[in-house]
Structure 1
Amino acid sequence: MSWFLIRGWTILVYLFLFLPVAVVLLLSFNDNQFGSFPITGLSLRWFVKLAHNDAILRAFQTSLILGGLTAVISTTLGVLASLALVRYKVPGQNMISTLLIAPILVPEVVLAVALLLFLNALSIGKSFPLLLMGHVIFTLPFVVLVVQARLVSIRRDVEEAAMSLGASPMQTFFQITLPLLAPAVFAGMLFAFTISFDDITGTLFWKPGGVETVPTQIFAMLRNSISPEINALGTVMIILTVGLPLIGVGIVRKMAMSRGG
């Protein structure tokens, strides 16, 4: 009886979490201009309008550029930090690890306000570099955690064997360590891109005037009215944020299996 109640409660929780997402997906294909049930017919016209909306296209371009730069910078810093903390003895190692992971523990709105106030005290205004810096700070811990977990499992004697055969530390890294780290590096990069692409709280604080990402564009559109284009845009966001990690997991597993084989 208790197991039946747990199952029922679990189903209710999942319905509560995912039913609104399903509603957005269904309404994005609704032919009726007013999002309501029952659906009068299926149509792709809201996606067509979305593709011709200059503001949304600019927001997508900004989000892709911002997410791509965030992923590259966070992954590079995360790999270097993980190597230093796992492979070498660094003074204050525990404190550095705590500082790197801290952005996950601090609420994002607190982190956003703190960074904004700090830079305002230095007379640095809102700009795209500030927005990029904020996203890097927020996504870096995820990369560090993923890469460190993989690096710990890589045996040190494999690298030592390569160096004993005449390879330099740089050659050992690029020919031995990095290929073994590749699944974690790719996963961390994908994490950073997805988190940056979806972020709205920090972006609202850090973005300069006239610059919109996809989440802030949705937020701005909701201030005026609930347009069917918002449902279509929400569907695109859901496909991207769910599809990319699933594709990434498949690629990472394939890479790990090929390395293992």
Structure 2
Amino acid sequence: MKQSSLGWTFIKIHTLLVYIFLFAPIVVVVVLAFNPKQFGIFPMEGVSFRWFIKLAQNESILEAFKNSLILGSLTAVISTAIGILAALAFIRFDFPGKNTLNTLLLSPIMIPEVVLGVALLLFLRFLQMPKSFGLLLIGHVVLTLPYVLLIVQARLVGIKKEYEEAAKSLGANAFQTFREVTLPLLLPAILAGALFAFTISFDDITATLFWATAQNQTVPVKIFSMLRNSISPEINALGTVMIVLTVTTPLLAGYLSRKLSKVR
């Protein structure tokens, strides 16, 4: 019994140390974002929003935010639209090569982003096509589509086919059945998938480094370039904003998904 108790104590301590190792740097970044001084010192001499104000006045960072928001929104819309159609095809219909195509669409999850980034870049170089915003959008859709597809498929499996058959027996056509029956029941998964796709696109840096141009830099790429040049307190403020967005968006997706599921 003593050995078992010591073992669990060791596991708890080890788990606590792992969490401290993972989250302590994030806490430091958030705290230093409110540091009034140029250099990070502890204890801080007061609290200030100086670097957030300076961040809001930085045109290049605002442009990167604009690019990230536009890219994330378009990625979410396109990935969700394709994911809904693909999920309906895979769950509701049988056709040759269904499993192969499903595996192909989900494969980006299993492939490292560095490999995807280099592969798409080399493919476009083979086609002699320059890097552009369109390329960046295609790459992000490839990255986020598997997550949307998995979420929508999981929800669609739980929707009984009898609901759709009942609507058709009452005279509704295929489009009316989808609009009045299937779509409302899928809405929690669609919303969750879209928000997750936006978060993944907004936060991605590994693959985006290969696809972005100087005119289409996203916020993570901008942070990376700022770290290469110098360590400015603005980076802490920008990192804090990114942390808030990337944490609250999935939480919002989960909350809305549960709420809409209860309503339905």
Query: TM-score, normalised on structure 2?
Result: 0.97
Q: 2:37 is aligned with what amino acid? A: N
Structure 2 contact 55–61 (Cα < 8 Å) conserved: yes
Q: Which runs of 5+ in 2 are unaligned?
A: 1-5
Structure 2 contact 192–256 (Cα < 8 Å) conserved: no
Q: Which residue of 1 aligns with 2:161?
A: 156
**1:203-218 to 2 correspondences below 5 Å:** 203-218=208-223
CA distance in structure 1 between the partners assigned to 2:41 and 2:123 by the alignment: 46
CA distance in structure 1 between the partners assigned to 2:95 and 2:119 by the alignment: 28
CA distance in structure 2 between the partners assigned to 1:90 and 1:48 by the alignment: 57
Superposed CA offset, 1:191-230 (max 9, x none): 1000000011111111123221100110111111110000
**1:142-181 to 2 correspondences below 5 Å:** 142-181=147-186
Q: Which residue of 2 aligns with 1:104?
A: 109
Aligned-residue offset at 1:52: 0.5
Structure 1 stretches of 4+ moved >3 Å: none
1:55 partnered with 2:57: no
Aligned-residue offset at 1:37: 2.1
Query: Aligned residues, how many?
Result: 259
* Residue among 239, 248, 253 paired with 1:243: 248
Q: 1:122 is aligned with what amino acid? A: L
Superposed CA offset, 1:121-180 (max 9, x none): 111110000000000000000000000000000000010000000000100001100100
Q: Which residue of 2 aligns with 1:196?
A: 201
Q: 2:238 is aligned with what amino acid? A: L
Q: Report the 3-state secondary structure (helix = DSSP H, G, I; strand = E; otherwise coil) of the residue aligned with 2:46.
A: coil
Q: Which residue of 1 aligns with 2:225?
A: 220
CA distance in structure 2 between the partners assigned to 1:243 and 1:191 by the alignment: 11
Q: Report the 3-state secondary structure (helix = DSSP H, G, I; strand = E; otherwise coil) of the residue aligned with 2:42.
A: coil
Structure 2 contact 196–249 (Cα < 8 Å) conserved: no
CA distance in structure 2 between the partners assigned to 1:8 and 1:90 by the alignment: 53
CA distance in structure 2 between the partners assigned to 1:244 and 1:138 by the alignment: 18
CA distance in structure 2 between the partners assigned to 1:253 and 1:159 by the alignment: 23
Structure 2 contact 77–194 (Cα < 8 Å) conserved: yes
Q: Which residue of 1 aligns with 2:38?
A: 33
Q: Which residue of 2 aligns with 1:134?
A: 139
Q: Report the 3-state secondary structure (helix = DSSP H, G, I; strand = E; otherwise coil) of the residue aligned with 1:208.
A: coil
Task: Give the alignment's Cα RMSD to 1 decimal.
Answer: 0.8
1:115 partnered with 2:120: yes
Structure 1 contact 32–41 (Cα < 8 Å) conserved: no
Q: Which residue of 2 aligns with 1:254?
A: 259
CA distance in structure 2 between the partners assigned to 1:180 and 1:36 by the alignment: 53
